[in-house]
Structure 1
């Protein structure tokens, strides 16, 4: 439920403070949302293969050669999307 603000007998200073508090609250909520969106996205092996359109054996070879970095928890392997994208290199054709 939204806070109800009564403007009867509210001074300009009090009104400015109420507005400032409301704006601050909205900005804090937006900051939290942006922080959640900037967290590193982890991809599974399958998602990484699908992204790069490669076979899992190719991903395994690239990982062993250090071309891409994988992270693990127990027997699960993950790849950071940002690192996969950074590992792509511009090709000079011609």
Structure 2
């Protein structure tokens, strides 16, 4: 099957404009539904302690009191950055 398209009375500029408009519409539709996935960032106890300028024992106490949710693999302990940021509460001053 040989499909042929003929453009009669269409200038190259008009064709280019129509193609550009079609691509723009498709891109806009794509961007409406596109949600980039950010990779999960894991922090060690040391990194969390440095982040808040506290001692590692303070991070341990926060875990025991339930303020932080530790994750582990073997003997390693990690924290999701999003979980840590979610634990922060606004202070009314």
TM-score by length of 1: 0.60
State the 4+ residue runs in structure 1 displaced beyond 2 angstroms: none
Runs of 5+ in structure 1 lacking a partner?
1-9
Instruction: Provide Cα deviations, 1:5-32, integer angstroms capped at 9, x if missing partner.
Output: xxxxx968xxx7xxx7xx99xx8xxx7x
Match runs of 1:1-94 below 5 Å? 34-35=36-37, 38-93=38-93
Q: Which has the larger radius of gyration?
A: 2
Runs of 5+ in structure 2 lacking a partner?
7-18
TM-score by length of 2: 0.60
| RMSD (CA atoms) | 2.6
